[in-house]
Amino acid sequence: MFKGSLISINITPTFSGFMQEVSEIRAVPGKGLEGDRYFNVTRTDVPDHGKGREVTLIEIEAIEALKNEKGVELAPGNARRNLVTCGVPLNHLINREFKVGEVVLRGVRLCEPCTHLEDLTQSGVQSGLIHRGGLRANILTDGIIKAGDAIEEIKI
């Protein structure tokens, strides 16, 4: 069992736009984070929209390891994941429910780094984040997520 925390919240209204940090955001089941690029996307816009594109998470520890192991510095928001966590083993949360503050999420699949991420950032990001690029999750309950919120697994 772990108890982690939310370091930052990052969104962008466009798919290649600059990620902006916000202190809080509304999470809406079936839609995503209000104001983020996937919030108003339909299944015809992105065929696999329903496969965990409502919210993405990454561990600050993975971003720090990228710097220490590959010499690649990446600001947390530039990882292009919505929620940056600390002390949360994201890879273990696939098919599990967990809370970010009072909002319940369900891990769907790993958020492996892609060439689009590397194109928007810098060389070495894709290979440096393999198997630790984060988690894609669905939102199960409506609510406000705030930077600093506790993150914990829901034991069923």
Tell me the CATH number at 131.
2.40.33.20
Q: Taking the model in full, what pTM does it have?
A: 0.89
Summarised one tens digit per residue, pLDDT across range 13-32 is 988 888 899 999 999 999 99
Name the domain count of the chain: 1
Whether the Cβ atoms of residue 27 and residue 33 lie closer than 8 Å to each other: yes
Instruction: Write out the residue range of the structural domain in which residue 45 sits.
Output: 3-153
| 135 within 8 A of 113, measured Cβ to Cβ | no
Q: What is the pLDDT of residue 49?
A: 47
What three-state secondary structure class fits 74?
A: coil
CA 97, CA 114: separation in Å to the nearest integer? 25
Which residues, listed in sequence order, are joined to residue 103 by a DSSP beta bridge?
Answer: 100
The pLDDT of residue 53: 81
Q: How confident is the model at residue 59 (pLDDT cuts 50, 70, 90)?
A: very high
> Which is more confident, 92 or 78?
92
